């Protein structure tokens, strides 16, 4: 077992300086989902400069905004993993790039949720799959035979 270094985002409870940087969305709507829709895979959908996120927890949204896995987002309020939100936000330009949308989403999170983050590196346990001393002992599989 090796212990690689990983980058992590840590949520803080105070206002961010990010709110003062850059431009944000032209218009944005954040609505809580009541009752929560249950766990599912959430993706960042961008269509002609409009961001759509459906029934996502705050930790998932932060992960999307900073392009990290949600398990790498640490800290934050208890409800960051339970309360869900629908977000629809329109950029000023219909040809805004995914990176520009992510920056606008970061600003939106700072403005609406008073989100502050800092990046840090942590050592975590991990497994490494390595080849044994005698080499691989795998055999090719046989083609499937159809039953008659």
**Which strands make up the sheet holding 84-90, listed edge to edge?**
27-33, 84-90, 50-57, 45-47
SS3 string, 86-145, reads EEEEECCCCCCCHHHHHHHHHHHHHHHHCCEEEEEEEECCECCCCCCCCCCCCCCCCCCC
Q: What is the mean pLDDT of residues 16-38?
A: 74
**Can you tell me the distance from the alpha carbon of 148 to that of 145, in angstroms, rounded to the nearest whole number?**
9
Pair of tokens at residue 16: 């961010």
Dihedrals phi, psi of 75, to nearest 5 degrees:
80, -160
Closest CA to 88 of 110, 68, 104: 104
Most confident of 15-19, 129-133, 140-144: 129-133
**Can you tell me the distance from the alpha carbon of 65 to that of 57, in angstroms, rounded to the nearest whole number?**
12
**Can you tell me the distance from the alpha carbon of 115 to that of 111, in angstroms, rounded to the nearest whole number?**
7
pTM above 0.75, yes or no: no
**Can you tell me the distance from the alpha carbon of 44 to that of 104, in angstroms, rounded to the nearest whole number?**
13
| pLDDT surpassing 90 at residue 25 | yes
Residue 46 DSSP class:
E
Which tens digits make up the pLDDT trace of 104-135?
A: 999 999 999 999 998 888 888 889 989 889 88
Pair of tokens at residue 32: 């809580």
């Amino acid at each position: 077992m090796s212990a690689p270094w990983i980058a992590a985002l840590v949520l803080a409870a105070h206002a961010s300086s990010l709110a003062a940087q850059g431009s944000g969305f032209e218009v944005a709507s954040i609505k809580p989902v009541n009752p929560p829709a249950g766990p599912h895979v959430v993706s960042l959908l961008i269509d002609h400069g409009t961001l759509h996120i459906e029934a996502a927890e705050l930790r998932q949204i932060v992960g999307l905004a900073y392009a990290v896995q949600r398990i790498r987002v640490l800290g934050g309020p208890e409800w960051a993993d339970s309360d869900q939100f629908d977000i629809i936000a329109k950029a000023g330009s219909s040809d805004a790039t995914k990176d520009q949308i992510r920056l606008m989403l970061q600003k939106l999170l700072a403005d609406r949720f008073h989100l502050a983050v800092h990046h840090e590196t942590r050592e975590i346990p991990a497994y490494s799959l390595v080849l044994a001393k005698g080499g691989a002992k795998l055999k090719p599989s046989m083609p499937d035979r159809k039953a008659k």
